[in-house]
Structure 1
Amino acid sequence: MSHPHPELGAPPSLPEGGLRVTPLGGLGEIGRNMTVLEYGGRLLIVDCGVLFPEEEQPGVDLILPDFSSIRERLDDIDAIVLTHGHEDHIGAVPYLLREKPDIPLIGSKLTLALIEAKLQEHRIRPYTLEVKEGDRELLGRFDCEFIAVNHSIPDALAVAIRTPAGLLVHTGDFKMDQLPLDGRLTDLRAFARLGEEGIDLMLCDSTNAEVPGFVAPERDISTVLGQVFGKAGKRIIVASFASHVHRIQQVVDAAHEHGRRIAFVGRSMVRNMGIARDLGYLKVPAGLVIDVKRLDDLPEEQVVLVCTGSQGEPMAALSRMANRDHHQIRIVPGDTVILASSLIPGNENAVYRVINGLTRWGANVVHKGNAKVHVSGHASAGELLYFYNICRPKNLMPVHGEWRHLRANAELGALTGVPADRIVIAEDGVTVDLIDGKARISGKVQAGYVYVDGLSVGDVTEANLKDRRILGDEGFISIFLVVDSATGKIVSGPSIHTRGSGIDDADFGLVLPKVQEVVTASAQNGVVEPHQLQQLIRRTVGKWVSDTYRRRPMIMPVVMDV
């Protein structure tokens, strides 16, 4: 099994007849899925998603793939193929189309409806081509066939991409639920046919590769939801992803069975469920859904609220309920809250913080840890073994997962007979070339995080985030000083102010003489330039704070010369 090395340089020019695969996100992380394929000087992009920030990225709204490696080649892009409508696969499309709005988007009916609604908010009218399972489209130099796969959102597709360099299959996110709610199975016959044709390189979902066995059927949740609904005496609040149509369908069915009405809460939830209902993917009995403003007209035992926030997102509806700052909904004793999703790695603390907040106000919180209210949308190890034995890929590149998932997926491929030297474990930015039937790592391009903070895209850097973390953890100290521009002597100050450092202002009397001493000594040595003096003051105060308090607040000296 090959793996990347830190010393990898820029990849060489792609040899004629070769196919290059460059993941710009989704490898070594859960989210930000984006893969760029290159053949004959043309590019095809599969998915373009976002990653949601973690606690060590304060103030960040979204994390995008880095487009810098393709920014000078936007005219070479034949299309963006979208495998399904989850945010980690479509959420970054508006930011790429800002740079070139006429790149064609290819996807299923629901996927395109979701991305078109998102693009409307960005005032972009895209060119789209709707496809369905069984369709085959020539997208520039890439002959693409679309295959039905089962996932936690309807209309998910895998894509088989034929070029003279070989046949590449990208699974997207998938599982093999044999009793799906919508009756739409993962098309194993199509994958078997592709296997007979000869799959030269497979890019396969790794998210659940560590989990043994097979994923339970989605319909198993219906029984558990029915039991929870039957026991609930007051309101029921269900938190789910805004795109999990299958899960919301089960909630709708349970509400109808128990004589309750449903209100959708949150802009993305209202928008997505409206789209799903209009297109026929969500079947809702007449009169079941009401506006959230009418909740006060109904008895508590007849109310179901469906909202976002199952991952503990700070601005989502459920987090605001837990913090008692939601403008419409206030948690009261006896409410039942159902978190109908799994924990995305990295979100554990945020989710348990929300659960504790809800419990504090008297809610009965039902989650995956105490009831079977979620099944995964990703194939487990047993399914992947089954899948590889059907497909028999000649080369395998695990995608969509953290390092432990990629490694586990690679080991499953090896167990089914994929040669070890034909299994490529890469990471974001690592280029993999398929040449003469063998996949090899050829180099690396830039693929760092691009942060969205409000209207700012890419302006926030790792240094900015480090400053934010320091400010949040240690506070700051500011020192003001006025010096004579000619002599460097102190004219006024120094004065010190602090916020959040935990150090009493009176204690700074001990360090003021040290500041005066270092500035005076600098003046005597001819060092009077404000920037140099600021550096000296920062080191002096920083050392004193570290030695005295074992703390490292942000220190901001301001030196003015007159």
Structure 2
Amino acid sequence: MTREARVRISPLGGVGEVGKNSTLVELAEEMLIVDAGVKFPETELHGVDLVVCDYSYIADRLDSLVGIVFTHGHEDHIGGLPYLIMQLDPHDPIPIYGTPLTLGLISVKLKEHGLLGRVIQYAIRDGQRSRLGPFEIEPIAVNHSIPDAVGLVIRTPAGVLFHTGDFKFDPTPVEGRTTDNERLRQLGDEGVLALLSDCVRVEQPGWTASELGVREALEQLIGLAPGRVLVTTFASNIGRLREVVRSAHKLGRKTSIVGRSMEENLRVARDLGFMNVPEGSLVDLRDLNDLPPEKVVLLSTGSQGEPTSVLSRIARGDHPLVKIQPNDTVIFSASPVPGNEESVARSIDNLFRRGARVIYQMIDPRVHVSGHASREELKHLLDLVRPKYLVPLHGEHRMLWLFRELAAECGIPRENVFLTEIGDVVAFGEAGAQREEPISSGSVLVDGLTIGEVTNVVLRDRRRLAADGVVFVSVTLDRETGELLSGPDFVSRGFLQLSSEETDGLFEEARERVCEALEGDERRQPDVNYLVGKVRDTLNSFVYERTRRRPMILPRITEV
């Protein structure tokens, strides 16, 4: 295959994991990125707020980037854009492309970070073709759990690619927009070289249930509730939020939003015409004080149990405006993202403790449906598009593997399905497809205002502190002779919960060991670094011998 007729695909995220979806498409010397998402951190990533893609490969070739195209406005597809920009040196504004709602939600994020001037925005719409360097992109309408979602046709000299974004085939979508079956069939007739497809629900048989059923279930539950109703879901699930407001109005209730991100998203959706609700149905939170509980619905963030979210604060009883009352009903209209199950369960437990009636998917499956295609829908997609090659995306490794087996059942040779890891490169052209050398890639950890500063060494220290605590030891020595003048004195945190007598006994023995080590050193070495190491090694051995634990030992040597 010739260089001019070869297109390279590299997942920068979203394979072998659920989250931080981002895919690099290269042709000759020019690059296009599809999506730039974030992922929630696993529990072992102590203190980490978000995980984003490593874009160092892009940073080294920034002049070759023709644009970033977004399929829809969910966090795992747009939330990483500010951190992508932060990983780049100062540069001319980057062209970004998305549907109007997607760009509106992106603008909110960039404005929060002071990065709005670092991009130029271009709106795209179904069926409208746009030229980005050697690439021609055409959005195709798909149905997902957020309005204005699209899949992307990417035409190149090497052939046609189709990136599904996130999708399902919902026959009765609440906003009236479903996945464009006919356009996908036409695309299949045109000929698709490679399909890049969401496969996160390949383990689920059949077809994903319709969003219409959720609307009906929530309306019924709100109607039966004796007091206030609090519904929590993703802040970007615009369609579901809109339907809750409509149902509440129909039942004679007023709705208020609790949570800044949800307020911002609904403001954007309303400005763009995606939040058409009856006049007066949405009111300020403070205005609800004059209404009886049975006339109130609250929409809240925090469906994933995030410790600082509004719902978690309500569940702990420390939200300044919302306190759980008798007869309150709380509905979790979302399922936990993998890794968040424990924090969601904690929020549910705390709400029960405060007297709320809590409804969630395990006890009423109707309160949430996925926005992703199940097994039969993935078969339907393959039947429509009929690709020569398939690259499964948006799934853990078992999901990618199962999609390959499903594709084989549909007639695609197994060797034409490429299971990838982050940074892998697959090149496609008229002469065939082949793997190439991986590119630099991986994950970057976001902690507060810092990005990339949390390294493996920092994480190792945090794990050790979390597991075994820390012991501080201070020693004062003569600067000239190295003679011990005072100490060692000890302070511990998170180490052992012992009685004062037991603690005194343990540290008295530790004091003797350190004194013996320092006084038995014939060199009487006054070098501070040497002494710090000597004290640390002595205490590490002693503490492990006595407790079978390895706290972090932090010596402080003072010379006088």
Q: 1:367 touches 1:373 (CA, 8 Å); kept in 2? A: yes
1:415 has 2:406 as partner: no
Match of 1:533 in 2: 531
CA deviation digits over 1:200-233, x for unaligned, max 9? 1111001111111100111011221122112211
Give me the whole-angstrom Cα distance separating, in 2, the residues matched to 1:316 and 1:503. 31
Q: How does 1:410-559 map to 2 (within 5 A)?
A: 410-504=404-498, 505-506=503-504, 507-521=506-520, 523-525=521-523, 527-559=525-557
Pair 1:232–1:527, CA change in 2 (3 A):
same
Give me the whole-angstrom Cα distance separating, in 1, the residues matched to 2:386 and 2:495. 60
Match of 1:269 in 2: 262
Whichever residue aligns with residue 468 of structure 2, its letter is E
Give me the whole-angstrom Cα distance separating, in 2, the residues matched to 1:533 and 1:404. 51
For residue 101 of structure 1, report the CA deviation from its aligned partner. Answer: 5.6
Q: 2:19 touches 2:40 (CA, 8 Å); kept in 1? A: yes
Give me the whole-angstrom Cα distance separating, in 2, the residues matched to 1:511 and 1:113. 61
Q: How does 1:87-486 map to 2 (within 5 A)?
A: 87-98=75-86, 99=88, 100=91, 102-123=93-114, 124-125=116-117, 126-371=119-364, 372-486=366-480
Give me the whole-angstrom Cα distance separating, in 1, the residues matched to 2:318 and 2:459. 26
1:65 has 2:57 as partner: no
TM-score by length of 2: 0.94
Whichever residue aligns with residue 95 of structure 2, its letter is P
Classify the secondary structure of the residue corresponding to 1:463: helix
CA deviation digits over 1:264-303, x for unaligned, max 9? 1111100111111221112210011000111211111111
Whichever residue aligns with residue 74 of structure 1, its letter is L
Give me the whole-angstrom Cα distance separating, in 1, the residues matched to 2:45 and 2:296. 37
Q: 1:177 touches 1:217 (CA, 8 Å); kept in 2? A: yes
Give me the whole-angstrom Cα distance separating, in 1, the residues matched to 2:192 and 2:345. 43
Give me the whole-angstrom Cα distance separating, in 1, the residues matched to 2:209 and 2:343. 26
Pair 1:379–1:559, CA change in 2 (3 A):
same
Match of 2:10 in 1: 22
Q: 1:168 touches 1:199 (CA, 8 Å); kept in 2? A: yes
Whichever residue aligns with residue 416 of structure 2, its letter is R
For residue 308 of structure 1, report the CA deviation from its aligned partner. Answer: 0.4
Whichever residue aligns with residue 225 of structure 2, its letter is A
Q: Which residue of the other structure, out of 49, 65, 68, is the alignment partner of 1:80?
A: 68
Q: 1:395 touches 1:438 (CA, 8 Å); kept in 2? A: no
**Which range is displaced more, 47-56 or 545-554?**
545-554
Give me the whole-angstrom Cα distance separating, in 2, the residues matched to 1:28 and 1:322. 33
Whichever residue aligns with residue 206 of structure 1, its letter is C
Q: 2:301 touches 2:309 (CA, 8 Å); kept in 1? A: yes
Match of 1:8 in 2: none
For residue 175 of structure 1, report the CA deviation from its aligned partner. Answer: 0.6
Q: 1:161 touches 1:167 (CA, 8 Å); kept in 2? A: yes
Whichever residue aligns with residue 68 of structure 2, its letter is I
Q: 1:424 touches 1:439 (CA, 8 Å); kept in 2? A: no
Whichever residue aligns with residue 119 of structure 1, its letter is L
Give me the whole-angstrom Cα distance separating, in 1, the residues matched to 2:400 and 2:483. 62
CA deviation digits over 1:432-465, x for unaligned, max 9? 2224443332122332221222221111222222
CA deviation digits over 1:304-332, x for unaligned, max 9? 01010001111111111111111111112
**Which range is displaced more, 426-435 or 388-397?**
426-435
Match of 1:7 in 2: none
Aligned pairs, how many?
548
CA deviation digits over 1:234-273, x for unaligned, max 9? 1100101111011112211220121100001111100111
For residue 518 of structure 1, report the CA deviation from its aligned partner. Answer: 2.2
Give me the whole-angstrom Cα distance separating, in 2, the residues matched to 1:320 and 1:58. 20
Give me the whole-angstrom Cα distance separating, in 2, the residues matched to 1:415 and 1:559. 69
Give me the whole-angstrom Cα distance separating, in 2, the residues matched to 1:178 and 1:319. 35
For residue 50 of structure 1, report the CA deviation from its aligned partner. Answer: 1.0
Structure 1: stretches of 5+ with no match in the other structure: 1-13
Whichever residue aligns with residue 334 of structure 2, its letter is S
For residue 527 of structure 1, report the CA deviation from its aligned partner. Answer: 4.9
Q: 2:231 touches 2:331 (CA, 8 Å); kept in 1? A: yes
Give me the whole-angstrom Cα distance separating, in 1, the residues matched to 2:154 and 2:518. 68
**Which range is displaced more, 440-449 or 341-350?**
440-449
Q: 2:256 touches 2:283 (CA, 8 Å); kept in 1? A: yes
Superposition RMSD in Å: 1.7
Give me the whole-angstrom Cα distance separating, in 2, the residues matched to 1:334 and 1:469. 41
For residue 489 of structure 1, report the CA deviation from its aligned partner. Answer: 3.4
Pair 1:445–1:561, CA change in 2 (3 A):
farther
**Which range is displaced more, 34-43 or 16-25?**
16-25
Whichever residue aligns with residue 425 of structure 1, its letter is L
Pair 1:495–1:27, CA change in 2 (3 A):
same
Classify the secondary structure of the residue corresponding to 1:481: strand
Give me the whole-angstrom Cα distance separating, in 1, the residues matched to 2:519 and 2:8. 62
Give me the whole-angstrom Cα distance separating, in 2, the residues matched to 1:117 and 1:61. 19
Classify the secondary structure of the residue corresponding to 1:161: strand
Classify the secondary structure of the residue corresponding to 2:38: coil
Q: 1:431 touches 1:442 (CA, 8 Å); kept in 2? A: yes
Give me the whole-angstrom Cα distance separating, in 2, the residues matched to 1:389 and 1:462. 45
Q: 2:40 touches 2:50 (CA, 8 Å); kept in 1? A: yes
Give me the whole-angstrom Cα distance separating, in 2, the residues matched to 1:482 and 1:393. 73
Give me the whole-angstrom Cα distance separating, in 2, the residues matched to 1:485 and 1:436. 76
Q: Which residue of the other structure, out of 30, 38, 52, is the alignment partner of 1:42?
A: 30
Pair 1:89–1:101, CA change in 2 (3 A):
farther
Classify the secondary structure of the residue corresponding to 2:219: helix
Pair 1:321–1:471, CA change in 2 (3 A):
same
Give me the whole-angstrom Cα distance separating, in 1, the residues matched to 2:258 and 2:18. 26
